[in-house]
Structure 1
Amino acid sequence: MRMRKKKHSAERLAACEKYLFTTDKVMSDPAAQIGDGLGKVFLEIGAGKGGFACAMAQRHSDTAYFAMERVTDCVVLCAEKASSGEYGELNNLRFVIDTADNLMHIFAPGTVDAIFLNFSDPWSKKGYAKRRLTHRRYLAMYMNLLRDGGSINFKTDNALLFDFSLEEIEAMDLVPDVVTRDLHASEWNEGNIMTEYERNFSKQGMKINMLRLTKPASFNPEVSAEFLNKAVYRA
């Protein structure tokens, strides 16, 4: 479902400019681009309405938190939520309006500590598998962006997408550290930050699937040529 076009989106974004991030070069030290004294770098791909990003940035105030979202109108909501004061001063949070296909043009290899994928588009139609953010071509790119020991953290309500993701991980000869098909009833729910979608799904009695995958030392698979040529995206 496409989000309804937001009125005065340009003006609303300008009012929240503090929380927006753009760069025309690859960052070898992403944390330094946000401020001094920040350690680890967290990257969320698909920020939705921004609740998860704001809560994570609040909890991990010593971490540089980048939340990528390709739909500008979604970023309007995200940035306004960050500016609302509900989560305090989020000086470590920035929203990036771009597509995941351009990640290699933003972050240098080995500069990210954790990647978060929450309720990503399942791209269910036949022939769309390569667009899924847990397809092996994306996983290979994530592994290059991560530092050794860094992690990919994935949550979804879609059992078919979860099964697909596990198959893609196995195809890369990797094994997740954590796999649960009912996150909220598992030991891994302690400390879990729910997204807006997750709350709604949970109220409907839907089970949430979750996995965590850690990057092995010096595991840097070949990155697809598609990701080495910058994509153009406008939304």
Structure 2
Amino acid sequence: MRLRNKPWAVSLVNQHPESVLDRPDPQNTINWTDRFADDTKPLEIEIGSGKGQFITTLAEQHPEKNFVAVELQISAAGMILRSKLAKNLNNLQILCADAANIDCYFAPDSADVLYLNFSDPWPKSRHEKRRLTYKSFLQKYQKIITPHGHLEFKTDNAGLFAYSVQSMNNYGMNFDFVSVDLHNEVHEIIANNIETEYEHKFAAKGNPIYALHADFEVK
């Protein structure tokens, strides 16, 4: 979902190169060690962070971990940055870039968890390859997720959820948790669930939230 243009966002992003990488060249390796105050912490990545409610809350609750918010829209990156600065989150970095190059921006086996929250469903068949759970994306995720890491996915779109379950199953992934109504689960996962902006909006309308956790076969 495209956000309205925020004229202030570009200026704010440009003022904070220490916190935001704005559309870096995928041919150049990013040295994440230099971008975090403590690079020994486990790394978790959210692809498509939107306004940043999920990732900034997660970073605030877990100072023992490092996080990267990957977001294509500069206006959204600016909103995440504004929240990061307000909360003084030195364990959060922002990468304004296309997720299609995700395996160029992170080293193999570098992330423990990868989050996909309310991704664009791209419902038309001709756009299947753009879906973030398409097999080519799964292949890129497998490269950067550690052997003991996993992927967490949430959506309100039943079609995208069904497609994603099939795509991951065909890829050979293992499912640790699957729900077609996350907010009504009696499970420790919902007790620790952090809502995104869209999740709050959709759930308030009574829409079910679909979710899954999955990991890859041993490489």
Regarding TM over 0.5, the answer is yes
- The share of aligned pairs that are identical, in percent, is 31
Q: Partner residue of 2:118? A: 119
Partners of 2:34 and 2:210 in 1: CA distance: 34
Is 1:154 equivalent to 2:153 in the alignment? yes
Q: Partner residue of 2:108? A: 109
Deviation sequence 1:192-227 (CA, Å, 0-9, x none): 000011111111011100000123322xxxxxxxxx
- The offset of 1:126, in angstroms, is 2.6
Please say if residues 10 and 74 of structure 2, whose CA atoms lie closer than 8 Å, have aligned partners that are also in contact: no
Q: Partner residue of 1:132? A: 131
The amino acid of 2:72's aligned partner reads: R
Q: Partner residue of 2:96? A: 97
Structure 2 length normalisation: TM-score? Answer: 0.91
The amino acid of 2:196's aligned partner reads: T
- 1:12-161 equivalent positions in 2, closer than 5 A: 12-21=12-21, 25-27=28-30, 30-31=32-33, 33-36=35-38, 38-84=40-86, 88-161=87-160
Deviation sequence 1:3-49 (CA, Å, 0-9, x none): 2221233222234544313666335x735531226410101000100
Structure 1 length normalisation: TM-score? Answer: 0.85
Gap runs ≥5 in structure 2: none
- The offset of 1:179, in angstroms, is 0.4
Q: Partner residue of 2:183? A: 184
Please say if residues 30 and 111 of structure 1, whose CA atoms lie closer than 8 Å, have aligned partners that are also in contact: no
Q: Partner residue of 1:217? A: 218
The amino acid of 1:26's aligned partner reads: T
Partners of 1:203 and 1:77 in 2: CA distance: 23
Partners of 1:83 and 1:130 in 2: CA distance: 35
Please say if residues 108 and 144 of structure 2, whose CA atoms lie closer than 8 Å, have aligned partners that are also in contact: yes
RMSD: 1.7
Alignment size in residue pairs: 214
